[in-house]
Structure 1
Amino acid sequence: MRSLRVPRAMQTIMALVLREMATSYGRSPGGYLWAVAEPVAGIALLTFIFSLGFQAPPLGTSFALFYASGLVPFLIYSDLSGKLSQSINFSLPLLGYPRVTLADAVLARALLNIITQTLVSCLILGGLLVLFATQATPNIAILAQAILLAFTFGFGVGTLNCFLVTRFPVWQRIWSIANRPMFLLCCIVFTFESIPMPFRDWLWFNPIVHVVGAMRQGLYFGYSGAYVSVTYVLFLSLGLSVLGFFLIWRFKDRLLNR
């Protein structure tokens, strides 16, 4: 019987993934096109605005690539965590079936989002490197590590928020308000080294700052990014994930019977 559990679980998750694809991207005009258009439009807007006031970006020669190096990992985190926070609410009608568990709902949304955001990131970064004279020397291994860190932290935050949003609906509004300044606090439009003390020490505790720094390490040869701590991001993400799944398991009856 144990040998049958894994295939059945995978079948359930894949069925939820197909449902997610149809509902999230199949019903809106353009479908997957918007997943690419949103970050491209954001990068274009930032490039236009800051190129008017500055002759060169803080790193490299391309404004578009510099802002992409910050915006891409930020959008990976925000999109994954936002989608996961609604996993139970989205799949609630199906959770009454014995074969569909709360973990299946979370993992299915995570899997589809990871596939989508990976493709989007490759298209954006690859397109900029091929189409423009960025003079960048990308390190694929470090870039992959940065994207993985963004997914890991987004998964941890999203899993914990999945419980909080489902158990306490008001948390969604609280989190939305608290998360608004994050765009300015993640070093997307500037470098970590340019921040004066003591604000730089405070900003170090923002995990997205480390993810953005890792992304720039992979794009700009010679950028040390000495402040980047992969261990910090991984341990924090793991802690949030374990706490989130534990709370979902502990209070699963209350989450399903609201």
Structure 2
Amino acid sequence: MNSTTRDLAHAPFPAFTEKMRAFCRLIGIVALQDMRTRYGQRSHFGYLITLITPLVHISFLTAIYYVRTAVAPVGDSPALFITTGALPYIVCIYPSREAAKALMDNRQLLSIPVLQPLHLMLARCLLESLNAIFVMATFLLGLYLFDIDIAPIDYLEAASALGASVILGVAFGLFNVMMCGIFGYFFSVVAMLLMMALFLVSGVYVPVWTMPEEAQKYLYYNPIYHLVEWSRSAYFISYESGSFDKAYVLVIAGSLAAIALLGDRLFRGKIISW
């Protein structure tokens, strides 16, 4: 094989690698600009508010359940029981809500020819994923400081459940951006109401296995339910988990992300003008 043949054989891979490096650098630059736009350049107070809000939310949910419930349905700690159900929801809903506002907050960046809506959406998803990880770590640390045993039985399963929650939230956020670009910001309100409804019927407060069998059949279509069951199965060895499906959550997330990317291609003009 002569040198020309070797160059032709190996040219596509370096070219693709270089394009991916440039794409990742661009996402990083947009993410930094997004932080400056949302939180200001001289003060970190706005960024702290973004992190404190979900922390207060999950603390409120935990405190209400802890005060009203003396004995947990499973395990010895009501706080741990509600946390293992509420935390997947919190790290799902906040990335989905904030990712949906990516274009509205950074529309002026689209005047730069090299930038497309996809860059803004992925940069926001990167930020929200990091924020969700920080919120999870901070809240679990807080429980530990209050002498609540936060160690799961299966660390890998616990991490996988929370990781899947972030992925679903990001995918839902991408889907929201596309749908808001087509139908207007009103769709974002509808999406948040839907997420709240899914939370109420996900078994966070009441274990699903205590519900009628007919109700359990319908709950199977709720991805938040699968996240809650997935999370609790990693913490309670005696937990009578319902039939949850890990693949179902990932399929829903992948489908939402695929629809969003396809919508970006088909309706990019309308999304930009939204």
Q: Please give the secondary structure, in 2, of the residue aligned with 1:100.
A: coil
Query: Which of 221, 224, 232 is the matching residue for 1:208?
Result: 224
Deviation at 1:237, TM superposition (A): 1.2
1:36–1:2: structure 2 CA closer, same or farther, 3 Å change rule?
closer
Distance of aligned partners of 1:116 and 1:173 in 2 relative to their CA distance in 1, 3 Å threshold: closer
How far apart are the structure 2 equivalents of 1:43 and 1:257? 36
Alignment of 1:26-175 (within 5 A): 26=40, 30-129=45-144, 131-134=146-149, 137-169=152-184, 170-175=186-191
Q: CA deviation at 1:181?
A: 2.2
Structure 1 residue matching 2:72: 3-state secondary structure: coil
2:268 pairs, out of 234, 241, 252, with 252
Q: Distance in 2 between matches of 1:244 and 1:41?
A: 30
Deviations 1:134-164 (A, max 9, x none): 3854422111110121122112221111111
Cα drift, residue 45 of structure 1: 3.1
Match of 1:192 in 2: 208
Superimposed CA distance per residue, residues 7-54 of structure 1 (whole angstroms, 9 cap, x where no aligned partner): 322222111111222233447773443345334433443344334443
1:15 corresponding residue in structure 2? 29
The CA distance in 2 between the partners of 1:254 and 1:53, in whole Å, is 49
Contact 1:35 1:120 in 2 (8 A): no
Aligned length: 258
CA contact (8 A) 1:39 1:71 kept: no
Q: What RMSD, in angstroms, separates the aligned Cα atoms of the two structures?
A: 2.4
Candidates 195, 203, 221, aligned match of 1:179: 195
Counterparts of 1:210-249 in structure 2 under 5 Å? 210-223=226-239, 225-249=241-265
Unaligned stretches of 5+ in structure 2? Answer: 1-14
**Paired AA for residue 256 in structure 1:** I
Alignment gaps of 5+ in structure 1: none
Deviation at 1:180, TM superposition (A): 3.3
Partners of 2:209 and 2:242 within 8 A in 1: no
State the match for 2:8 in structure 1: none
Q: Determine if contact 1:89/1:166 at 8 Å carries over to the other structure.
A: no
Report the CA distance shift for 1:13/1:44 in structure 2 as closer, same or farther (over 3 A). Answer: closer
In structure 1, how many angstroms separate the alpha carbons of the residues matched to 2:62 and 2:92?
Answer: 21
What is the CA–CA distance in structure 1 between the aligned matches of 2:271 and 2:60, rounded to whole Å?
A: 41
- Tell whether the 8 Å contact from 2:208 to 2:216 is kept in structure 1 after alignment: yes
Q: Could you tell me the percent identity over the aligned residues? A: 23
Note if contact 1:86-1:165 (Cα within 8 Å) is conserved in structure 2.
no
Q: Partner of 1:134: helix, strand, or coil?
A: coil
After superposition, the Cα gap between the structure-2 partners of 1:224 and 1:253, relative to the gap in structure 1 and judged at 3 Å, is same
Say which SS state the counterpart of residue 113 (structure 2) adopts: coil
Report the CA distance shift for 1:41/1:256 in structure 2 as closer, same or farther (over 3 A).
Answer: closer
Q: Distance in 2 between matches of 1:63 and 1:41?
A: 18
